[in-house]
């Protein structure tokens, strides 16, 4: 019998609204995302049916900053995280609970807007930008396939092999 379990979630979805940025009493930044994950399947009659689950994701510190800077309503993201359940009691004495996702890893699938556009709505470049909870640093990959932070180069052929 296993002594420990595994609490891991991997999601790909679109933001239903702009990220909501907050700070704790100690000044730690966190961002809340409302993520729509839609799956498509065929019903018994052979019709395509879409089912959307709305999930609440919380990102902390560096990831929160990147999410607030680069994500907007409709942005597509990959989130790796873990489930967290919080419980509280309402002023009327009712017990409530909610299960959310605590983001550990964030990959921006839309890329990152260019900052050179004065209108604020820059064109997207970079097929994948990634942040990692442990390093708290952005890891953009440019269109030529070279990357920063000593990560291996992604060739154009390799992008087709990605599972998403």
Question: Across residues 87-106, what is the average pLDDT?
Answer: 95
- Name residue, tokens 């396939």: 145
The pLDDT of residue 147 is above 80 = no
Tally of domains in the chain: 1
pLDDT band at 118 (very low <50, low <70, confident <90, very high): very low
Structural domain boundaries, residue 122: 9-41+48-159
pLDDT digits (tens, 9 = 90+) for 14-52: 999 999 999 999 999 999 999 999 999 999 999 999 999
- pTM higher than 0.75: no
Say if 122 falls within a structural domain: yes
Low-confidence winner among 35-49, 54-68, 111-125 (lowest mean pLDDT): 111-125
Tokens of 81: 């995280």
- Amino acid 50: pLDDT: 95
Q: How far is CA 112 from CA 57, 62, 116, in A?
A: 20, 16, 12
Say if 3 falls within a structural domain: no
Say if 144 falls within a structural domain: yes
The pLDDT of residue 149 is above 80 = no
Tokens of 139: 């890891």
- Amino acid 111: pLDDT: 61
Question: Across residues 70-84, what is the average pLDDT?
Answer: 96
- Amino acid 108: pLDDT: 93
CB of 63 closer than 8 Å to CB of 50? no
- Amino acid 2: pLDDT: 77
Say if 146 falls within a structural domain: yes
Say if 23 falls within a structural domain: yes
CATH number of the domain bearing residue 108: 2.40.50.140
Q: Where are the beta strands (DSSP E) in 76-128?
A: 76-89, 95-108, 112-113, 124-125
- Amino acid 130: pLDDT: 44
Percentage above 90 pLDDT, the chain: 65
DSSP 68: H
Say if 4 falls within a structural domain: no
Mean pLDDT for the chain overall = 78
- Amino acid 116: pLDDT: 45
Percentage above 70 pLDDT, the chain: 66
Say if 138 falls within a structural domain: yes
């Amino acid at each position: 019998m296993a002594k420990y379990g595994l609490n891991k979630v991997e999601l790909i979805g679109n933001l239903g609204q702009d990220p909501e940025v907050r700070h704790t009493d100690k000044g730690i930044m966190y961002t809340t995302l409302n993520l729509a994950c839609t799956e498509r399947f065929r019903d018994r009659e052979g019709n395509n049916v879409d089912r959307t689950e709305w999930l609440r994701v919380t990102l902390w510190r560096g990831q929160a900053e990147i999410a607030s800077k680069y994500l907007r309503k409709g942005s597509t993201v990959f989130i790796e995280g873990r489930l967290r359940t919080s419980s509280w009691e309402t002023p009327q004495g009712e017990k409530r609970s909610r299960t959310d996702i605590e983001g550990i890893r964030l990959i921006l699938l839309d890329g990152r807007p260019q900052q050179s556009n004065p209108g604020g709505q820059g064109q997207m470049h970079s097929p994948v930008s990634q942040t990692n909870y442990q390093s708290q640093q952005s890891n953009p990959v440019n269109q030529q396939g070279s990357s920063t932070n000593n990560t291996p180069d992604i060739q154009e052929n390799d992008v087709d092999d990605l599972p998403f």
